[in-house]
């Protein structure tokens, strides 16, 4: 039975690398995943910054069950008044700045970014887009067009024209944003580049330049949103409000959903010239939206984000080892840089065998990722760090 599933996985399921993790998980709860061969794993990836409340949080499970019994899919996004969506939109916009007052629901991070790029072109009537070197915004053709790494996109050309790349944190490059540019899309903390934080008020300078040139500023908070950095959103941490906020991943607490949030006067241009400017069958699916409501409510009521910075410090305090060169990041979003790539890749494999799951970054394979569920406890951090240090000792 066990071998059979592995064979089917390799033979009949499309693969994206020649070395998948191949963990066969039977159930998952909190920060732990349990495999069919009765092993217990600590999850330091959280499905790539998704499971903010841990796996199968009871409040999210309950919200899903209740919604499934009422209705599932009814109609394409935006035609019917679906209460999970209206409840979520009100709850979210109530605590965002006044220009982020309208939510457009989609299915994923890529789709949120795709829609945001289209919206910016349509709203400004301008042809150009600026993105950042080493940016990751998703895998669909539009999102891949703004991906800042040649290796990962070159085979898929031709991609979208009119895209220019500037360097994150480089003030000199800001002059390339001019009145022909519809939008700048940026991760306020670059994730797959290996967690690069903005320096010296870079985001404020970027915002100023966008304001001067009438260019829309899109923050891709697909990975940084919902408390990962110890604040609800990176834009709150750095005090710079974007024109369009893109969210997904942790939004649904384990269910697939994303959104772009902007001013209603901007989002409303999707209504005309042409009508149906962005449409999506499953965007804001009621079951996912119900899960998103429960996630937002639980993050708030249980004050989970308030602990994130001290939990992050617990990791950085305990992870002292001569093979660790640097730890970068904020909150529970950390990149642990080892001496070299070979060591890091060996380490990740060995650590998994020891029952702790981590990964490298798409554009930076010399560091491993610490992005566990935000509900991790200090005791569980001790448990994880002990295994990490022991594994580094053994390499």
The binding site for ligand PMP (CB under 6 A) comprises 48, 108-110, 113, 136-138, 187, 191, 220, 222-223, 248
Residue 157: Cβ-neighbour burial (10 angstroms; 0-12, 13-18, 19+) = exposed
Residue 212: DSSP 8-state: H
CB 187, min distance to ligand PMP, A: 5
CB 174, min distance to ligand PMP, A: 21
Q: Which two tokens stand for residue 325?
A: 């060169």
Within 10 angstroms of residue 4's Cβ, the number of other Cβ atoms is 8
CB 373, min distance to ligand PMP, A: 17
Find all residues with CB under 8 Å of 395, minimum gap 6, and list them. Answer: 323, 343, 346, 347, 350
Report the residue number, 55 or 137, with the smaller CB distance to ligand PMP.
137
Alpha-carbon distance of 205 to 190, in angstroms, equals 17
Closest CA to 228 of 298, 302, 326, 299: 299
CB 168, min distance to ligand PMP, A: 13
Report the residue number, 131 or 344, with the smaller CB distance to ligand PMP.
131
How far, in whole angstroms, is CA 279 from its chain's centroid? Answer: 22
Q: Which two tokens stand for residue 7?
A: 């064979």
CB 288, min distance to ligand PMP, A: 12
CB 179, min distance to ligand PMP, A: 27
Report the residue number, 220 or 243, with the smaller CB distance to ligand PMP.
220
CB 148, min distance to ligand PMP, A: 11
- One DSSP character per residue, 81-128 reads --HHHHHHHHHHHHTS-TT--EEEEESSHHHHHHHHHHHHHHHH---E
Report the residue number, 357 or 392, with the smaller CB distance to ligand PMP.
357
Report the residue number, 113 or 380, with the smaller CB distance to ligand PMP.
113
Residue 61: Cβ-neighbour burial (10 angstroms; 0-12, 13-18, 19+) = middle
Report the residue number, 45 or 385, with the smaller CB distance to ligand PMP.
45
Alpha-carbon distance of 385 to 30, in angstroms, equals 17
Report the residue number, 359 or 383, with the smaller CB distance to ligand PMP.
359
**Residue in the shown chain whose Cβ atom is closest to ligand PMP:** 109
Report the residue number, 292 or 385, with the smaller CB distance to ligand PMP.
292
- Give the H/E segment covering residue 318: helix 308-318
CB 318, min distance to ligand PMP, A: 26
Report the residue number, 135 or 385, with the smaller CB distance to ligand PMP.
135
Structural contact between residues 35 and 44, judged by C-beta atoms closer than 8 angstroms: no
- 173, HSE (Cβ side, Cα atoms, 13 Å): 15
CB 364, min distance to ligand PMP, A: 13
How far, in whole angstroms, is CA 269 from its chain's centroid? Answer: 26
């Amino acid at each position: 039975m066990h071998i059979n599933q592995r064979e089917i996985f390799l033979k009949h399921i499309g693969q994206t690398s020649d070395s998948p993790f191949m963990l066969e998980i039977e159930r998952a709860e909190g920060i732990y995943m349990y495999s069919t061969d009765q092993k217990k794993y600590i999850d330091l990836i959280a499905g790539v910054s998704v499971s903010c409340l841990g796996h199968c949080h009871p409040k999210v499970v309950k919200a899903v069950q209740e919604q499934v019994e009422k209705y599932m899919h009814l109609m394409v996004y935006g035609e019917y008044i679906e209460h999970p969506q209206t409840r979520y939109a009100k709850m979210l916009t109530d605590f965002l700045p006044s220009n982020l007052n309208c939510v457009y629901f989609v299915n994923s991070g890529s789709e949120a970014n795709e829609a945001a790029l289209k919206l910016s072109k349509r709203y400004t009537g301008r042809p150009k887009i600026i993105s950042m070197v080493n940016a990751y915004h998703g895998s669909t053709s539009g999102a891949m067009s703004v991906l800042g790494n040649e290796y990962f996109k070159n085979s898929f050309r031709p991609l979208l024209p009119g895209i220019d790349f500037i360097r994150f944190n480089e003030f000199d490059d800001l002059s390339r944003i001019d009145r022909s540019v519809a939008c700048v899309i940026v991760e306020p903390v670059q994730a797959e580049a290996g967690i690069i934080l903005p320096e010296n008020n870079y985001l404020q300078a970027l915002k100023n330049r966008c304001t001067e040139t009438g260019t829309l500023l899109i923050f891709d908070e697909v990975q940084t949103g919902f408390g990962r950095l110890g604040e609800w959103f990176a834009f709150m941490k750095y005090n710079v409000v974007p024109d369009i906020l893109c969210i997904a991943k942790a939004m649904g607490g384990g269910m697939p959903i994303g959104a772009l949030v902007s001013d209603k006067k901007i989002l409303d241009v999707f209504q005309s010239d042409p009508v149906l400017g962005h449409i999506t069958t499953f965007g804001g699916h009621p079951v996912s939206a119900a899960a998103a409501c429960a996630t937002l409510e639980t993050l708030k009521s249980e004050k989970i984000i308030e602990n994130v910075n001290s939990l992050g410090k617990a990791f950085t305090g305990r992870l002292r080892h001569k093979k660790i060169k640097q730890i970068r990041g904020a909150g529970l979003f950390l990149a642990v840089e080892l001496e070299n790539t070979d060591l890091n890749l060996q380490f990740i494999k060995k650590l998994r065998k020891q029952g702790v799951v981590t990964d490298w970054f798409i554009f930076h394979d010399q560091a491993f990722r610490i992005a566990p569920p935000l509900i991790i406890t200090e005791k569980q951090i001790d448990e994880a760090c002990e295994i990490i240090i022991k594994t580094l000792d053994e390499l």
